[in-house]
Amino acid sequence: MNGQQMVLKLNDISSKKPGNIAAIFSLSNGYVGIQASNPINGSNDTGTLVNGFFEYSPITYGEAAAFYPKNNQTIVPVLNLRKIILLDENHHRFDTATIKDISLNLENGQLHEVYEVSNQAHKKIEMTVVSAIDQKNLSFYGIKFSFKPLSYKGKLIVDKRFKLDAISEAADIGAQEDPRKTRRVNSAAKQIIASADDREILKIATKKSNQSITIQGRSISKKLLTERDLTTSFDLTYIYQVSKGDENKVVPIEQHSFVKIKENSHQFWEKVWQQSAVMISGNDEINLALHFNIFQLNQAAGRDGHTNIAAKGLTGPGYEGHTFWDTEMYMMPYFIYTNPEIAKSLLIYRYHTLAFARKRARELGVDSGALFAWRSINGEETSAYYPASTAAYHLNGDIAYAIGKYYETTDDDEFMEKYGFEILLETARFWREFGSWTEKNGQKKFEFLTVTGPDEYTAMVDNNYFTNRMAENNLQLAYTVGHKLAVSNPKILLKLNTSENELRQFQHLSTNIYFPRNTQYAINAQDDSFFSKPIWPFQTTPNSQYPLLLHYHPLHIYRYQVNKQADTILADFLFPETITESQLGREFDYYEKITTHDSSLSRSIFSAVAARMGNVKKAYSYFSDTVRMDLIDLQGNTEDGLHLANLGGSWLDVVQGFAGMQVTAQGILKILPHLPEEWNSFEFRLMFKKRLLKFVIDQQITEITLINGDPLEVIINQKKYTLSKIIKINN
C-alpha cells in the first residue's frame, strides 16, 4: 500500500462540522486523547481526555429502589492542550481560524493542519500545526505551530500559557434527550502550581472521585508568551506531559523532545501494521477507511490493565467515557489476533474490577459469583435504567467468551492461572446461582429468567437465546480450563476455593441449558415470548422516527417484535458450529426483516454472517456502511466520538466474514473465503499461537504464508494442510 493511501484527508469525510473533524482526526494512545479541535476557536476546557479520569455525580431518581446505583461516573475533559492565543501588535486578538487542510498520517501517527487565521480588521496569517502523541512514553504530547504572513506582517504575540476558564458545577447537558451523549461534569478544581517563562504545571483534582491529573507544559523556544516579527515565517514547538497523580514521571519533561515523540509514534505504528495490516485491492476508499478504523482501535485501547476502551474511545465524551460489553464482543477479537499483549491488558482490567462485580451479584440476590457492571469506568455499576443494562447478564458470558478466545489463541497458561480462570470461575458460579431448573417437554432443563439480551428493544424476558448460549459456553469453559490447569498446577483449585466436584457441576449445567425454538419457522427463538408479540409496524413508521429509542417509550417498543441490533444472529456468528447452513439462512432472513440497525453494533454482524453464508452482495452492502460509518456520519452523532465497536466490527467483517476465519473446536485455524466482486483481492495478517501469518485471497487462489514461527495445521476450503512456509490453494 503506498503512502498516499495511508493518509486521511479532509475530503475523505462527508461532514465538515467542527465536532466531526475533532473526533475523526483525534490522536490518542490509550492513556491520553487529544481531539483535533480548532486551536483558535476551541474551548479551553475541552478536547483532552484521560482514560479512567472521571468524576462522580449523584443519580436522581423520581422513585428509587433497593440497590439502584447511586452515582454517575463521567469522564472529565481536562485542559485543551491545542488552544493558542494570537494577538497583533496592537493586542487585537486573531479570533477566527478557517481550516484549509488537514491530514492524518496512519503510518506514523502525525497530524498536519493548515488554517487561515484572521481578526476583525481582516488581517490574515497562515498557521500550520503539526502534532503527535507518544506511543511509548504515554504521558507525552507534542505540537508545533508554524506562522506565515499573509495580509498581516507586523509583530505577532503568541500566548501558549494555561488559561483557566470559570468552571461550572455538574451540567447535565443532553443526557436526558439522548442517552448516547455525555453528562458533562465540570466540577474538577484546577490550579496552576508552578509557572516560569518556559513552563507551567497545572493540577486538576476531582472533588468526589478523589483523582488528580498533573499537566506540565514546556516551550522549546524557552517562552510560553512570545513576541516575534512576522515579516518572515517562524515556528514554535511545545511539549506536554499528562500524569495521573505521580504516575508516568519516569522520563522528565526536560529530557523529552518533539523528535522523540514522533520517533516513538512511528515505531509503534510500524509494528502495528507489520502485525495487522489489512489491504484491499480494487477500492482505495474502502481500503483507507479500514486502515483508519484499525488505527483508531489501537489508539483507544488502555494498556495498563487498569483502563479499558470506552464506547467512544478517547475521541469524544459520548456515553460518558464508559466501557460496555462492546470491548469483548467487537474490539477484543482484533487485539487477540494481532496484538495479544493489549488483549491481555484489557482482560486484566476486568480482573481488577472483580470486587465490584462480586458486590453487585450480592445486591442482585445471587449468593456466590460475580456480575460485572454493564456500564462503568472503574467497575462500579452506573446505569440508572436496569432493564437495558443490569438485566443484560450476558456481559458475564461475553467476558468469559473473550477469555476463552484469548487462551485458545495464545496458550497463555500464566494469564489463566493469575487472572483468567478466576474470572471464569466467578462468572460460572453466578450462572449456577442465578439460573433455575424447570421441566421443558418432559425433560429437566436449566433456564435463566428475566434477562435482557443484546437487543435493547426487547427487555426483561425469559430464556434469551443469546444469553443462554453465552452462559453455556461460560460454564463449559470453567470446567475445561479448570481441569487443564489442575493437571499442571494441582494447587490452583485449592487456591481459588474450588474443587473437581464444582467443576463437574458446571459441566452438568452447561449440558442441560434450555434453548427456545420456534417450530413454525424452524429457527432459534430470540426468547420465550418473542414470537407471541406482533411485528413492529415498519410500513407506517416514518424515517424521521428512527432511532426508535428517541421517539417511543420503552414500554411501547417492548410490546413488539423489533430488534435494535443483532441478537440471535450474533450468537450464530459467535458459535458457527452450533447451527446448520439451512437453519442459519432461515434465521438470517427472519431476523433481518425486523432489525432496525438503530445500534452501531448491528450492521457488522449481519455483514459477517451474510458473508459466511455466501451472500456476498448483501454482506458487502452492510460492510460498506460499517467500514465508513464515522467518515460519512451514518449514525448522525460522530461529533460525540467515534463508534469504537463498529470500528472493530469492520475488521471482523473482513477477517471473520469475507475470509471466513474461524477456529474449530479442535483449535485449528480455518479459512473459507468469499471475495466481494468489488475487490480484486485482499490480504491481512494474524497472530495465532505465537506465529505471524499472512493471508492473500483473490478470485482464483488463497495463499497463506508463515512469516515466523513453527509449522501448524490449517484448514482451507474444508481441507486440512500443514503450513511450514507457504500454501497456495485454488478457490
Supply the pLDDT for residue 252. Answer: 83
Of the pLDDT bands very low, low, confident and very high (cuts 50, 70, 90), residue 197 is very high
Supply the pLDDT for residue 46. Answer: 83
* pLDDT higher than threshold 90 for residue 171: no
The helix/strand/coil state of 401 is helix
Residues 660-731: name the CATH superfamily. Maltose phosphorylase, domain 3 (2.60.420.10)
C-alpha–C-alpha distance, residues 259 and 207, integer Å? 37
Domain ranges, ordered by start, for the chain: 8-267, 339-568+584-595, 660-731
Question: Which listed CATH number (3.90.650.10, 2.70.98.40, 1.10.1240.10, 1.10.10.1590) goes with 8-267?
Answer: 2.70.98.40
Contact status, residue 262 vs residue 108, Cβ threshold 8 Å: yes
* pLDDT higher than threshold 80 for residue 329: yes
The string over 569-582, giving b where at least 16 C-beta atoms fall within 10 Å of a residue's C-beta and e elsewhere, is bbbbbbebeebeee
Supply the pLDDT for residue 731. Answer: 81
State the Cα angle at 300 between 648 and 328, rounded to 5°. Answer: 45
Q: Write the CB contacts of 706 (distance below 8 Å, at least 6 apart in sequence).
A: 691, 692, 693, 712, 723, 724, 725, 726
In angstroms, how far apart are the furthest CA atoms of the chain? 91
Of the pLDDT bands very low, low, confident and very high (cuts 50, 70, 90), residue 166 is very low
Q: List pLDDT tens digits, range 364-415.
A: 999 999 999 999 999 999 999 999 999 999 999 999 999 999 999 999 999 9
CATH topology of domain 339-568+584-595: Glycosyltransferase (1.50.10)
**Average pLDDT in the chain:** 94
What are the grid coordinates assigned to 452, written together? Answer: 435482557
* pLDDT higher than threshold 80 for residue 444: yes
Supply the pLDDT for residue 174. Answer: 40
Supply the pLDDT for residue 5. Answer: 74
The reply to whether domains 339-568+584-595 and 660-731 share a CATH topology is no
- Annotation marks residue 341 as catalytic: no
* pLDDT higher than threshold 80 for residue 443: yes
User: In the predicted model, what is the mean pLDDT of residues 668-676?
Assistant: 95
Of the pLDDT bands very low, low, confident and very high (cuts 50, 70, 90), residue 245 is confident
The string over 463-487, giving b where at least 16 C-beta atoms fall within 10 Å of a residue's C-beta and e elsewhere, is bbbbbbbbbbbbbbbbbbbbeebbe
Of the pLDDT bands very low, low, confident and very high (cuts 50, 70, 90), residue 175 is very low
* Paired sense of beta strands 662-663 and 523-524, if any: unpaired
Q: List pLDDT tens digits, range 308-323.
A: 999 999 999 999 999 9
How far out from the chain centre does Cα 200 lie? 33
Catalytic annotation, pick one of 456, 472, 502, 683: 456
pTM value is 0.95
Handedness of CA 266, 269, 275, 281 (dihedral sign): negative
Q: List pLDDT tens digits, range 445-457.
A: 999 999 999 999 9
Q: List pLDDT tens digits, range 410-435.
A: 999 999 999 999 999 999 999 999 99
The helix/strand/coil state of 203 is strand
DSSP code at position 366: -
Contact status, residue 416 vs residue 402, Cβ threshold 8 Å: no
